Amino acid sequence: MSGRNKDLARRWFEEVWNQGNESAIAELYHAQGQSIGFPESDSVIRGPQEFAATCRRFRSVFPDIHVTLNELVAEEDKVSVLWTATMTHLGDGLGFPASSKSATLIGSTFMRFKDGKVIEGRNHLDFHGLLLKLR
C-alpha cells in the first residue's frame, strides 16, 4: 500500500500542480477530502470542486509553478512529502499587482489516502513570507 500511495502522491503533484490538470483533481481527490493549511495556515478546503477552484486561483497568480518533490516517506495510508515550488508572480489575484518576481517556496504536505484518493492533506508552508517577498 505504501508504494502505491507514494506513486499517487507523485502523480498528484505532477498532474495537479506541474501540469495544471483539473481532471486529475476530480480523479484523485476523495469526495470527502479536505486540505488543511493551503494557501493560508488556517485554510480548510473541502471536496474536489473547492480544491479545484483554489488551485485555479493560485495558478492564475503563479501560472508557471513547478513543484519538485525532494523527499517522500510512506507508511500504510500516509505519505509525507517535502517539496520545493518555484514560480513567477504573474497574476493580480493576491490583492496587489503582479510583480513578475520569481519566488521559491519550500513546504511539506502530509497526505492520507483512502480508496486510491487523497482524503486528507495537511500543508505546512510560509505563504505569508512569500507574499512579503513579492511586494
Question: What 8-state DSSP symbol labels residue 94?
Answer: T
Domain carrying residue 56: 2-134
Between CA 61 and CA 38, with CA 69 as vertex, the angle to 5 degrees is: 45
Q: Is there a contact between 28 and 118 (Cβ–Cβ < 8 Å)?
A: yes
Count of domains observed in the chain: 1
> Cα separation of 82 and 11, whole Å?
15
pLDDT tens-digit map of 30-85: 999 999 999 999 999 999 999 999 999 999 999 999 999 999 999 999 999 999 99
pTM of the model: 0.94
- Tell me the three state secondary structure of residue 53: helix
Longest CA pairwise span in the chain (Å): 45
Phi, psi of 25 (to 5 degrees): -65, -45
Query: Has residue 1 got a pLDDT over 80?
Result: no
CATH code assigned at 119: 3.10.450.50
